[in-house]
Amino acid sequence: MAATLTATAPARPRKLLASRKTRVGILYALPVVVYLLVLFVYPIFSTLLLSLKDADGSFTLHWYADALTGVNLSVLFTTLRISAETAVLSLVFGFVLAQAISRLKPLWAGLAMLVVVVPHFVSALVRTYGWIIMLGDKGLVNETLAWAPGAPYSLLYNELGVVIGTTSMMLPYTVLLLYGVMRGVDRRLLAAAASMGAGRVTIFRRIYLPLVSPGLASAGLLSFILSLGYYITPALMGGPNQTMIATLINQQVTKENQWNGAAAQGVILLVLTLAGLLLVKAVSSLGASRKKRSAS
């Protein structure tokens, strides 16, 4: 009997301590939960309800049907195309830049990354106007290429101008992601392959590229997702044929006072973004499992 009391006596304080920790944890988490509910869940839920209401308040899918037909569908395809072009160019330039930086010594690599990242903290509006000045008929680019046949070139208010502008905005994200992945590559694997007679192309194709491919996929998908909802640069550097979803939503709200249609467009954009995020998560998980297999 005494042994039983001795065994159960310490168990009760442990249970009390565990329940107290649980209550404290819930108390600490409560402000965060309220914050998320008020500023994230409620606006998304309200937007979803608004997209499903007709003018008289009845349930309807008219706004989604309207968003996926005619001009609105063309805007959606334009958004997807420009976002894909931006992602590809960001990957190409970001890969070259991150590869060059990753080969530098830590001090110089840090300075180079500072040069890449610092412009990102400048207002996107300021950077966009900078590109407009550079790409104009009397801008730096056309003045430099004045000797070339066909100059001055039309580099603004078309798809080329939008892609140039959006690529410059997404490039820092791509370089940051790729630089971290490339720094993590074990250079001894490359040296071992070279010592066994493998050429540079073979090493790059069969060893280096598979190791950094999850980072490439994540960086490309991130650029694509961010470009889907980007507004400032496409609105200022594009023309009527380069209208993207964010610009269309702005027009429907400010000019047409069509909140229901804008809400439907926003929900479609949110679904596309969530799909991209799920792809990023899947790619990251694949990369982590691949690293575990290579380490073992």
Among candidate residues 79, 44, 116, the one with its CA nearest the CA of residue 224 = 79
What pLDDT, on a 0 to 100 scale, did the predictor assign at position 290?
A: 61
Superfamily of domain 79-244: MetI-like (1.10.3720.10)
What pLDDT, on a 0 to 100 scale, did the predictor assign at position 102?
A: 87
What pLDDT, on a 0 to 100 scale, did the predictor assign at position 87?
A: 93
pTM above 0.75, yes or no: yes
Residue 81, classified by CB atoms within 10 Å of its CB into exposed (0-12), middle (13-18) or buried (19+), is: middle
Give me the tens of pLDDT residue by residue for the chain, a chain 296 residues long. 444 544 444 556 666 666 666 766 677 778 888 888 888 888 888 888 888 888 777 888 888 888 888 888 899 999 999 999 999 999 999 999 999 998 888 888 888 888 888 888 888 889 999 999 999 888 888 888 888 887 788 888 899 999 999 999 999 999 988 998 888 887 888 888 888 877 788 888 888 888 888 888 888 888 998 898 888 889 899 888 888 998 888 888 888 888 888 899 989 988 888 887 887 777 667 666 665 665 55
What count of other Cβ atoms lies within 10 Å of the Cβ of residue 235? 17
- State the Cα angle at 50 between 46 and 52, rounded to 5°: 120
Among candidate residues 293, 272, 261, the one with its CA nearest the CA of residue 55 = 261
What pLDDT, on a 0 to 100 scale, did the predictor assign at position 119?
A: 81
Tokens at residue 94, please? Answer: 């970001």
Residue spans of the domains in the chain: they are 79-244
Q: Cβ(276)–Cβ(193) under 8 Å? A: no
CA 266 to chain centre: 17
What pLDDT, on a 0 to 100 scale, did the predictor assign at position 18?
A: 63
What pLDDT, on a 0 to 100 scale, did the predictor assign at position 67?
A: 86
